[in-house]
A and B are shown apart, each in its own frame.
Chain A
Amino acid sequence: MRVAVVSLLAILFGLLAGGVLMAATGHNPFEGYRYLFEGGLKNPERIGNTIATGTPLIFTGLAVAFAFRTGLFNIGVAGQMLFGGLCATAVGLNLDAPRPILLLVMIAAAFLGGALWAVVPGFLKAKYNVHEVVSSIMMNWIAYWTVYYAVPAYFKGTYLETESQILPAAATLRDPFISGLFGGSYINMGLYIAVLAVIVVAFIMNKTTIGYELKAVGFNRHTAEYAGIAVNRSIVLSMAISGGLGGLGGMAQYAGNANNMQIGVLPSQGFDGIAVALLGASAPIGVMLAAVFFGLLYSGKGFMSAMTEVPPEIADSIIAIIIYFAATSILMERLVSWLIKRRKGQRSKPEEQQPAPPPGETSGKKEGLYDVEHH
């Protein structure tokens, strides 16, 4: 409950700051927001597009959230999306099989590709205590350049050097049924897989021994080790699953919402996943809601910039501001505590409120980024 209030406050402050930004640059914020939300919700097609835009974010948010729960910060989801997407594209362009089999193999390839990309930082963390943030940033750029050179060399598009060949319709997640349901929107089967992933992740986290062990490692690595949990194995496994989810996000983006890959782009959805996980308090359902909310901002921004003079980057700015407020959630916590206290009429004694540890931080010993031995 409390985390939900903090998340909603972060969104509120993000939207307020966005409004101030619009007003400061000479636009009408009320008009801007009206068109932004209309653009994402006005008719079934737009609602479908909003959900479709949010679909890759569900995967990337789940990816970040899953690693968070094990005390790992997977900042490399963008690279995992790229490499997972590249693997899926390679299968989609080359494998000649009936559609269900083709799609299943593509999904498996995307998951494995993403997992492989995340296992490297996981292994380096487990074996050599290399911090996963730094190594996953390096992996992001290795993926970036891999796609940059692999696409023109092996999957060159018909017209442009800078994008891969268009996937045949059978090798995409396109689904006329749900698309028709939403008035011809580009919403696709990625949504089914995303909902399935939410359920599976929730199940793994809350109902299985593995999930319990992973969370125990996240709460306190040393206690978990003392309790006989294979900490190093848990770290690698958690990164693998997290990266696999990121890879599926790549599939949902490059073979679902789009039908090819562009080179020279590190997908922003990978980083938005951090915001999604933070806002969703690393809980699968929360992640899904947060992802759809961001999908709304992204899919509404085009309509807004068409109807008003407000540049579309306002949506990206709002999301960045929300992350900043989510990162400084201690500020929100203090605000909430202060409001509660004021309602109870206990304002006389200002008492230091202990904030809940933010997701991704072990509540035990705080560790520096580079994990040098402390004495």
Chain B
Amino acid sequence: MWNIIEQIFPYAVMYTIPLLITGLGGLFSERSGVVNIGLEGLMVVGAFTGALVTSMIHSAMPYHPAAVWIGLLAAFVSGVAFSLLHAFASINLSANQVISGTAINMLAAALTVFLARNITGSGKIQTQGLRSFDVPILSDIPVIGKLLFTKTYMTTWIVLLIVLLSAFVLGKTAFGLRLKACGEHPHAAEAAGINVRLMRYIGVMISGGLSALGGSIYIATISGEASGSVAGLGFLALAALIFGQWKPLGILAATLFFGFASTIANVSQVIPSLAVVPPILLKVFPYVVTLIALVLFSKSSRAPKAAGEAFDSGKR
């Protein structure tokens, strides 16, 4: 049994990371008061941009190690830019944020395949991904060394760093508290001199950048090709955001949970001792758990109070 856990742990972590960073992105947007159903689409945009930039650099300079990193950076920038569509609709035009987010999802899926067909002819962009490595020294620690420090990706450590940084920014800095105020009580925030629209723009743009980063990490570590879809990971991240009750460390726990469930479902057919659990139960597990969490927390939900509401400073 322990052997199996040791085997699947690196894969579970690998699967968790794109979810984690995307859920964290959603956190910034929703905490500022803008619901972002478009996480999936923003991931798709990041996946496309990351794969495109990486493969372009590779075709000019084969096997250049910096290509993937430039791709990830480009993905981040593209996500920020694409999320402006959602920000403009939700913040300036008081659009229904769910419809705008749905439009983002559909537009990202259609547009990236459209562009990919123009570029490669097939609608898919293949790319070389990152390589996993064993952390020197640390991987020799008994028990946890095998679990945490073998077959890791550099992106994993960067994402974990971003999570800790975000927890600090949201919990301890003036910026973070202002951002959350805009999602809880925008009118009070405005009365206190905070530029609510600006804060919400920043929240949505961070969510765009981080989700796109998540999408491109998915390409660089798991899938290897951008095809206009990230297999519903964006919606899973949204579920993790709710299950994690809009807190950075809550999201970390929720995504790890979901990452494990999905990995076990994926490998259960080849590992006999896991084959007793029907894979369908493991696959629907995150969604059912989220539904149950929504019911359990319905009385004491920590959801940002003003999320989904258009801000109108003249309303009261």
Contacts and interface: CB of A to CB of B under 8 A. Distances in A.
> Do A and B originate from a single complex?
yes
Interface of A: 21, 25-26, 73, 75, 120, 124, 128-130, 133-135, 137-142, 144-146, 148-150, 266, 268, 271, 274-275, 278, 311, 313-314, 316-317, 319-321, 323-324, 326-331, 358, 360-361, 366-370, 372, 374
B99 A327 contact: yes
A367 B280 contact: no
A128 B117 CA distance: 46
24 contacts: A25-B118, A75-B37, A75-B102, A128-B298, A135-B294, A138-B287, A139-B287, A141-B236, A141-B284, A141-B287, A148-B283, A149-B280, A274-B99, A323-B106, A324-B89, A326-B99, A327-B100, A327-B103, A329-B95, A330-B94, A358-B96, A368-B307, A370-B301, A370-B303
Interface stretch (B107-115, B154-162, B205-213): B107-115
Contacts, number: 162
A120 B235 CA distance: 18
Nearest to B110: A316
A356 B293 CA distance: 36
A319 B106 contact: yes
Given A120-B291, A370-B308, 6 more contacts: A129-B298, A134-B242, A137-B37, A141-B232, A317-B111, A331-B93
Given A148-B283, A316-B109, A124 B295 contact: yes
Interface residues on B, range: 35 or more
B118 A278 contact: no
Ranked nearest first, the 9 interchain pairs of A and B with the lowest CB-CB distance are A369-B308, A316-B110, A370-B303, A311-B117, A320-B107, A320-B106, A313-B114, A324-B103, A327-B99
B interface secondary structure, majority: helix
Interface in B235-253: 235-236, 238-239, 242
A146 B284 contact: yes
B47 to A, nearest CB: 16
B114 A368 contact: no
B103 A323 contact: yes
Interface of B: 35, 37, 85, 88-89, 93-100, 102-107, 109-111, 113-115, 117-118, 123, 228, 232, 235-236, 238-239, 242, 278-280, 283-284, 287-288, 290-291, 294-295, 298, 301, 303-310
A139 to B, nearest CB: 8
A358 B304 CA distance: 23
Contact of A146 (B97, B232, B280, B291): B280
Contacts of B110: 313, 316-317, 319-320
B112 to A, nearest CB: 9
A328 B100 contact: yes
Contacts of B304: 368, 370
Contacts of A321: 103, 107
B15 to A, nearest CB: 16
A145 B283 contact: yes
A137 B235 contact: yes
A142 B107 CA distance: 24
Contact of A328 (B95, B98, B117): B95
Which of A124, A144, A323, A369 counts the most B-chain CB atoms under 10 A from its CB? A369
Nearest to B41: A320
Contacts of B115: 25
Given A271-B102, A323-B106, A367 B283 contact: no
B124 to A, nearest CB: 12
Contacts of A369: 35, 97-98, 303, 307-308
A174 B108 CA distance: 35
Contacts of B96: 327, 358, 360-361
